[in-house]
Amino acid sequence: MRGAGLPSTDIALSRETRVLVGAVRWFVGAATEDDLVGLLGGGGLDWSRLFEQAEREGITGIVARALDSLSPREGLALPLDRWRAATRAVAVSNMTSLSELAALRAMLRRGHRPMILLKGAALLDDEYRGHLGLRPLGDIDLLLRPSDLPAVTGWLRDRGYKPVSSSSPFFSRGVVSFDLHTEIVGSEWVGLKGRAFRLDPAALWREAIRLEPHDPTTLVLSRVHLRLHLAVHALKHSYSRLIWLVDLALVLRDAPWASLLGEARAAGAMRPLAYAVSALDTLLGRLEMPDAVRGELPALSALERAFIRLVASRRGMETPGELLVAFSIPGAIGKAAYLAELVFPKRPVLARHYPMTPSWLLYPRRVLRLVSLSLQEGTKLWHRRGG
């Protein structure tokens, strides 16, 4: 990435948001310390608002590191204690989660059961150089074979973990949570999503690589599959946390573009990849990639470009990304069917999601949920309309 200033100066951002984006750009090598000083100078910065937004975006550790880099400079009054304490808190929380993960890995090794670490936990060692305070985990996402799911859920229950509902694959105990997956594109909720993103499960397992040479059961996705999964996952949540864009910036700067484009075409994930590149270009500076590769990415429609502007404005909205998945589904009928299933999933899916709800109340409850979600997203848009 290159370029000193925010590339989209026509997008209105609050000063605090510009500082956060500047810190991220410094972290990924797209800005200098002098750029950061320019953003911080002049007074009037709301440090409390900056801190709260950094926590929402998952980047307190990154901002703390950026501020620490400026500490030797004279004339800057930086409240470093709060940021350093927050970074330590993230590191302690991550260490607790990784300790539980180590215990789970030991159980799986004894049973010769493989698992694939996904998202943040798979990036800590390589992309974040093992600095536990830089990348909050939130929860640990695991891809499991369906036949191994009962063993893992039983182990979690024995250790006091509780699912959020009787049929949920999300287990929590205190600050530690595990999210168990048997597929990675979200087709468990919307079956037709599998028509958009066709990441072959057999290939995911066959091409996965060991996290550590001595452990044959703890795997991570291949370089290509990891990058595609991060792009699809971030789109699902509309890039609503900056840390997901940091993840993408780190993994795409050394992407194996030829094989990545080939797999993206085969999997129907060219548009999510194009959205990721466009979002990074807009917020963090033009992503360094071969011009020929950039030319292979699909051109974005006016609606898709409006979505990227919404992402860059940092409104925190999560639903538009799921709607844009429709652009990756061929045919008008296919798109309409996906949107219909997204709004009103099949009854068995709703029954798993709302296990205590009588069958005849499943769709009325879904309607109430949609109304509530619309109000929440509308409120975010209204209150953050000025950036």
Query: What pLDDT digit, counting tens, does each position of 198-228 carry?
Result: 888 999 999 999 999 999 999 999 999 999 9
Distance CA 211, CA 216 (A): 8
CB within 8 Å of 347: residues ≥ 6 apart: 359, 362, 363
Output the DSSP codes for 281-303.
Answer: HHHH-B----HHHHHHSPPPPHH
What would the two tokens of residue 253 be?
């700067």
Nearest to 29 by CA among 56, 71, 69: 69
Give the helix ranges, DSSP H, for the chain: 15-27, 33-40, 47-57, 60-70, 80-110, 120-123, 149-158, 193-196, 201-207, 223-236, 242-252, 257-267, 270-284, 291-296, 302-312, 320-324, 332-343, 347-353, 362-383
Beta carbons of 64 and 80 less than 8 angstroms apart: yes
Contact (Cβ atoms closer than 8 angstroms) between residue 124 and residue 52: no
Q: Which of 321, 249, 317 is nearest to 283 (CA)?
A: 249
pLDDT reported for residue 6: 43
Per-residue pLDDT 10s for the chain (387 aa) are 654 334 445 678 899 999 999 999 999 999 999 999 999 987 789 999 999 999 999 999 999 999 999 988 877 889 999 999 999 999 999 999 999 999 999 999 999 999 999 999 999 999 999 999 999 998 999 999 999 999 999 999 999 999 987 778 999 999 999 999 999 987 777 777 877 888 889 999 999 999 999 999 999 999 999 999 999 999 999 999 999 999 999 999 999 999 999 999 999 999 999 999 999 999 998 899 999 999 999 999 999 999 999 999 988 777 788 888 888 888 899 889 888 888 888 887 777 667 778 888 877 887 887 777 666 656 655 555 544
Cβ 377 vs Cβ 318: under 8 Å: yes
Q: What is the pLDDT of residue 186?
A: 79
β-sheet bridge partners, residue 243:
none
Collapse the DSSP code of 110 into the 3-class scheme (helix H, G, I; strand E, B; otherwise coil) and give the result.
Answer: helix
Per-residue pLDDT at 220: 98
pLDDT at position 226: 97
- Residue 158 is encoded by which pair of tokens? 């024995």
Report whether 66 contacts 27 (CB < 8 A): yes
CA dist., res. 147 & res. 122, Å (int): 23
- Check residue 301 and give its pLDDT: 94
- Residue among 220, 40, 43 nearest 115 (CA): 220
Would you tell me the crossing angle of helices 257-267 and 223-236 to the nearest 10 degrees? 50
